[in-house]
């Protein structure tokens, strides 16, 4: 029998954080909002739900990405933030989170800008899911 080594806490926290923020973003935009529209909820109510939950999820994504950046730097070193694709994706997400809140604060009516930031964060999260865990060469 092969002896299986227990998973490291960093890898577990990486996966857990990634599951929450990436899954939450995709679930809201591609499952919940279309389902609410399909069941016949008033469009203004759906927009209000979106306007309330999107900033919460983007902020939560920013927090989770900071946690993932900490795990990545502990496993691979500080240089991995700009040399590794995972680190670059995390930095792009952090930048887009900052832009999302800046646009929301200084241009409250710019729904397209907010949607662009949201989609970039969601797509970076999807690409990040396909990358190997920190400290491992492959899955």
* pLDDT tens string 12-69: 999 999 999 999 999 999 999 999 999 999 999 999 999 999 999 999 999 999 999 9
Cα angle vertex 10, ends 7, 14, to 5°?
105
- Rounded-to-integer distance, Cα 5 and Cα 49, Å: 44
Name 11's Cβ contacts closer than 8 Å, sequence gap at least 6: 71, 133, 134, 135, 136
Please give the model's pTM, rounded to 2 decimal places.
0.87
Nearest to 54 by CA among 119, 138, 2, 9: 119
What's residue 98's pLDDT?
Answer: 98
User: What integer pLDDT is reported at residue 4 of this predicted model?
Assistant: 47
Give kind and range of the element (H or E) at residue 136: none
pLDDT score for 26: 96
Model pLDDT for residues 71-124, shown as the tens digit of each residue: 999 988 888 889 999 999 999 999 999 999 999 999 988 999 999 999 999 999
CB atoms within 10 A of CB 105: 8
Main-chain phi, psi angles of 77, to 5 degrees: 100, 160
Other beta carbons within 10 angstroms of residue 11's beta carbon come to 15
């Amino acid at each position: 029998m092969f002896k299986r080594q227990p998973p490291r806490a960093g890898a577990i926290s990486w996966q857990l954080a990634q599951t929450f923020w990436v899954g939450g973003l995709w679930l809201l935009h591609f499952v919940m909002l279309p389902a609410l529209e399909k069941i016949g909820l008033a469009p203004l109510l759906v927009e209000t739900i979106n306007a309330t939950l999107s900033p919460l999820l983007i902020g939560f994504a920013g927090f989770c990405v900071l946690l993932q950046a900490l795990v990545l730097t502990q496993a691979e070193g500080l240089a991995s933030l700009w040399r590794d694709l995972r680190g670059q994706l995390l930095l792009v997400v952090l930048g887009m989170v900052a832009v999302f809140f800046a646009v929301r604060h200084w241009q409250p009516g710019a729904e397209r800008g907010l949607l662009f930031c949201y989609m970039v964060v969601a797509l970076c999260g999807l690409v990040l899911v396909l990358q190997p865990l920190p400290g491992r060469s492959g899955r």
